[in-house]
Amino acid sequence: MLLPYTGEASALSANLEKGSLLAVREMNRAGGANGLPVEIVFGNTFSDSERAIDEARSLVEQGAVAVIGPGGDEGAEPVYEALSEFGVPLLSPLASAVGQGAGTQTLPWFRMAPSTRVLGENLARFAGESGTERIAAVIADDVYHSEIGARFSERYAAYGKVEMSRTIDESSIDYESLTRALAEQLDAGVQGVMLAMQPRPAARLATELEARRGGKTPPKWFLTPRLKTDLLLQNASPGAFRGAVGVAPQVLEGTRGEFEQFFAEREGDTPFDPTFYVYDATVVALLAIDRALASGSSLPEGLAQAIQEVTSFGGVLVGWEGFAQARELNASHSKLQFSGLTGPVILLNDGSRSIGTTSLWGVQDEAIVER
């Protein structure tokens, strides 16, 4: 598994790692892959695409037959291309910026999350339908946030006007200049601020903007998925994000509470929303490895086909905890369909997800809540 253990995106990685390890342990408790124990090894992308490629190749050299990662969209496509040289499938739980057609039918790129187009457009629709007519946008320059920002602006034009759109490098933000520009926009009648960035810089931005504006009416905040974390509120001044609303890939409410309790019992922690997607991606890889081995296929050569078989429509439904059931179905060469924490995992021939929905969340009483 590839994760960014350094850089701004590293704040989520420990939680994501726990989700993947939990799935592997549960698979091994159910008997492993075709009776063999599964081991997961980790590589650090260092939040750098070139180093991510080197780490991906290192994982293959260590015997990896599939790679999960690399965390988000940053560096994901070069990693896919590097792994293609070895015929090793890439399962990307959080890659949203790459839509249909990126993978091939020969070696699909398996992507679990809704696209940035869906995320950006749904956030824009909510902002417009809330009656907000004038917005300022602050957008990080990485591919994921840039694409969400672009889709937001395009869709929001049907409802109102983005008066200011500022693209930032999160490693060198001029908070003084940025908060001054936002304060001027708000004083001139802008009602809302859309943030497409990482939690810690977003928290500092909101805190310094609130300090600059004193007791004036705060903006309506519209937030993107990676801000749906307690890290945002822990690093912001109390009340800085009161009333904020955001969009995120949906986690099924029917399974959220069950998995949160399961995760707390096993890991002593609370899973972040991206961890639900990492868990599902890991389960898909595990069930496919078991299926390929049970059918006599070699790895990694037979793995892409096995992944497509467990993520195709039809067959016996297997839930997020159904490892033993899936192993029995694989052993008898019966068809199964995985339906995980994030809903039915149905992937197209190129590996993109055919069904992926979003949900709204908000900030209420200094806590992140579902809406």
Where do the domains of the chain lie?
A: 2-114+253-344, 116-249
- Which parts of 100-198 fold into alpha helices (H)? 116-129, 143-156, 175-187
Burial letters 14-27, b for 16+ CB under 10 A, else e: ebbbbbbbbbbebb
Burial letters 188-213, b for 16+ CB under 10 A, else e: eebbbbbbbbbbbbbbbbbbbbbeeb
pLDDT at 354: 80
Q: Quick one: which of 146, 116, 128, 343 has its CA closest to 222? A: 128
- Predicted TM-score of the model (pTM): 0.80
Q: Is the dihedral of CA 148, 132, 177, 197 positive or negative?
A: negative
Q: Which CATH topology does 2-114+253-344 take? A: Rossmann fold (3.40.50)
Phi, psi of 317 (to 5 degrees): -70, 130
pLDDT at 98: 62
Angle between helices 49-61 and 76-84 (to 10 degrees): 30
pLDDT at 233: 97
In the predicted model, residues of the chain with pLDDT beneath 50 are none
**Helix/strand/coil for 345:** coil
Q: How far apart (Å, rounded) are the C-alpha atoms in residues 32 and 296? A: 16
Q: 349 CB contacts (<8 Å, ≥6 apart)?
A: 105, 108, 308
The residues with which 248 forms a beta bridge, in sequence order, are 359
Q: How far apart (Å, rounded) are the C-alpha atoms in residues 93 and 101? A: 17
pLDDT at 76: 87
Indicate the burial class of 265 (C-beta count within 10 angstroms; 0-12, 13-18, 19 or more): exposed
Q: How far apart are the first and last CA of the chain?
A: 32
pLDDT at 258: 95
Q: Quick one: which of 21, 27, 84 has its CA closest to 288? A: 27
Instruction: Give me the architecture of the 116-249 domain, per CATH.
Output: 3-Layer(aba) Sandwich (3.40)
Q: 172 CB contacts (<8 Å, ≥6 apart)?
A: none
Q: Which amino acid is at 213?
A: R
According to DSSP, residue 9 is labeled G
pLDDT at 102: 60
Indicate the burial class of 257 (C-beta count within 10 angstroms; 0-12, 13-18, 19 or more): exposed
Count helices and strands in the chain by DSSP H and E runs: 12, 15
Tokens of 250: 């949906």
Q: How far apart (Å, rounded) are the C-alpha atoms in residues 285 and 117? A: 26
Check: CB of residue 182 under 8 Å from CB of residue 206.
no
174-185 residue pLDDT tens: 999 999 999 999
**Helix/strand/coil for 109:** strand
pLDDT at 97: 72
Mean pLDDT, all residues of the chain: 93
